Amino acid sequence: MYKRLFLFFVLILVLISGRQPVKAQSEGPIYIVQSGDTMGSVAARFGISIDQLVQANPSVDPNLMPIGTELIIPGLEGVSGVLTSKTIEIGESFYPLSQEYRISPVQLARINRITSPAEAYAGFALVIPEPEAEKPDLLPIHFSTRQSSLELAVLSNTNPWVLNTQGNKPGWSILPGETVYIPANETNVAAPASSLVKNLIISPLPLVQGETAEIRVQASQSVQLTGMLNGRELHFFPTEENSYVAIQGIHAMADPGLVEFSLQVTTDSGESWGFDQWVILEAGYYTTNTRLIVDPATIDYENTQPEDELIKGFITPATETRYWDGLFLSPVDVPANYYLDPDCITDRFGNRRAYNDGPFDYYHTGLDLSACGNTLNIYTVAPGVVVFSGPLTVRGTYTLIDHGWGIYSGYGHQSESYVKEGDIVEAGQLIGLIGNTGRVTGPHLHWEVWANGVQVQPLDWLAQSYPSTR
């Protein structure tokens, strides 16, 4: 018996030890395995073969790489230490980042397999060696369109020669709008990129199909803001003094790649500043549904197009009043956690689908929820104003609620609706019952959320507050 117990504990220790992060056995450069990494993805990231990576890490099981595993990256002569990842934010660019992280642009480009610094777009996960020793603080110095390097050197109490040689790029030429980093001291101060804008943030980066993006601007004074993101006009609203936010949905079938962001800032006196930058948009994680068999009349363009145009007309206005605050509530009787109840969800947002004998060129525009809470009740997810309530071809008996700032929620396939257009509703108010009206394969609630004219993942609004509290 004791022998069996001993062997049992030995086996447990072996299993536990096998799941610990594996450390690299020789000198760096070393990459720390992140969530979602595989031998193939890491090898592709650094432009080497899987065999080369495996040979450099003989003690690492290619099929078992826990987060935190240390991998030696071969073929990066002259680079040592630990490699970390830094997402390029809006407003950041390649050369200033090479200065900030004390690495030559040539080396930084080589590590990241970048052939041109222009490839470092907002949302790009830049691999950067962590400094092996503490180095003096650096101060960012920004050049405006009307400043010379000599003028900026005087304003920042910096030696002009130091300023011009800190560019760390061929030719040492500093262009208007660029940033350089100089050693910080007690007397020099940073010059802002624009006297009108203190901070500019897009979250999340990179952008993802079907998610909700938030664009925050902190200005130095009261301003008017206009902008575009992926071809959509942004609507900015004040959150506090001289701070503004726009909430924008990213289409679930938007082409992954680069999308353009632009911003125009104007003061009451007519002073203005413009900014634009390319941002990375990544594919979402959506599956392909089995082919759905439905009434042909519900997929007939002549029937569906009027409904699409009707809904578009209702969800286009961005109401100045924000009615909601904080997280959305669950529209059915289940806990309002991120995943709801897996038994409640009959189909998820964004899944690719085909109807009858047609192609897979549709996507699921909302979240389908069954009557898993043992009731058929449908509740409002947030306060707002009912802008539509009535029968539709696809959505069946449908209710659409305006929550302000371009945010709308929709509730489809109801058997009964208890509200009418113009009603003011509160969060958690009973507005109808789950049914099987419209284009359905069974009874359920089809719950939709729009952010500035684009349908987005509803579950995000149960898990995160928009605008964020940061």
Annotate 328-378 with DSSP letters as a single string.
Answer: PPPSSSS--STT--TTTEEE-TT-EE-BTTS-S-EE--SEEE-STTSS-EE
- Residues 122 and 90: beta-carbon distance below 8 Å: yes
Identify the residue with better confidence: 406 or 126: 406
Helix and strand counts by DSSP (H, E) for the chain: 9, 27
Neighbours of 134 (CB within 10 A): 6
Distance CA 209, CA 215 (A): 16
The pLDDT tens digits of the residues spanning 105-137 come to 778 888 888 887 777 888 988 888 876 555 556
The pLDDT tens digits of the residues spanning 46-59 come to 888 999 999 999 99
So what's the pLDDT on residue 289?
79
Q: Is the pTM of this model over 0.85?
A: no
- Residues 88 and 122: beta-carbon distance below 8 Å: yes
So what's the pLDDT on residue 10?
42
The pLDDT tens digits of the residues spanning 276-310 come to 889 999 999 898 877 888 888 887 888 888 999 99
Strands 82-87 and 30-32: what pairing? parallel
Q: Compute φ and ψ for 160, nearest 5 degrees.
A: -55, -35
- Residues 22 and 69: beta-carbon distance below 8 Å: yes
CATH superfamily of 200-282: Immunoglobulins (2.60.40.10)
* Res. 373: pLDDT tops 90: no
User: Which of 98, 87, 274 lies closest to 180 in space, CA to CA?
Assistant: 98
DSSP H stretches of helix in 83-180: 94-100, 105-111, 149-155, 160-165
How does the average pLDDT of the chain come out, rounded? 83
Report residue 9's pLDDT band, with 50, 70 and 90 as the boundaries.
very low
Q: Which residue has the tokens 């193939």?
A: 40
Determine the average pLDDT of the residues in 204-225.
94
Q: Compute φ and ψ for 320, nearest 5 degrees.
A: -65, -30
Report residue 183's pLDDT band, with 50, 70 and 90 as the boundaries.
low
Distance CA 451, CA 464 (A): 14
Distance CA 206, CA 197 (A): 22
Distance CA 379, CA 356 (A): 32
So what's the pLDDT on residue 85?
81
Report residue 406's pLDDT band, with 50, 70 and 90 as the boundaries.
very high
Cα Rg of the chain (Å, integer): 27
Distance CA 419, CA 120 (A): 50
- Residues 268 and 300: beta-carbon distance below 8 Å: no
- Beta-carbon contacts of 40 under 8 Å, excluding residues fewer than 6 positions away, are 50
- Beta-carbon contacts of 99 under 8 Å, excluding residues fewer than 6 positions away, are 138, 166, 167, 168, 180, 181
Report residue 275's pLDDT band, with 50, 70 and 90 as the boundaries.
confident
Bridge partners of 86, per DSSP, are 126
Helix (H, G, I), strand (E, B) or coil at 65: coil
Q: Compute φ and ψ for 325, nearest 5 degrees.
A: -155, 120
So what's the pLDDT on residue 169?
47
Helix (H, G, I), strand (E, B) or coil at 188: coil
The pLDDT tens digits of the residues spanning 17-70 come to 444 455 544 566 899 888 878 999 898 888 889 999 999 999 999 888 898 899
Helix (H, G, I), strand (E, B) or coil at 329: coil
The DSSP code for 309 is H
Q: Compute φ and ψ for 464, nearest 5 degrees.
A: -135, 140
Strand order in the sheet with 232-233: 207-208, 272-282, 257-267, 223-229, 232-233
- Residues 217 and 263: beta-carbon distance below 8 Å: yes
Query: Would you say domain 22-129 falls under CATH 3.40.50.720?
Result: no
So what's the pLDDT on residue 295?
82
Q: Which of 93-97, 198-202, 244-248, 364-368 has the lowest mean pLDDT?
A: 93-97
Nearest 5 degrees, angle CA 228-CA 231-CA 237? 35
Distance CA 349, CA 410 (A): 13
Query: Would you say domain 296-463 falls under CATH 3.20.20.370?
Result: no
Q: Which of 176-185, 246-255, 351-360 has the lowest mean pLDDT?
A: 176-185
User: Which of 237, 212, 240 lies closest to 225 in space, CA to CA?
Assistant: 237
Distance CA 224, CA 266 (A): 5
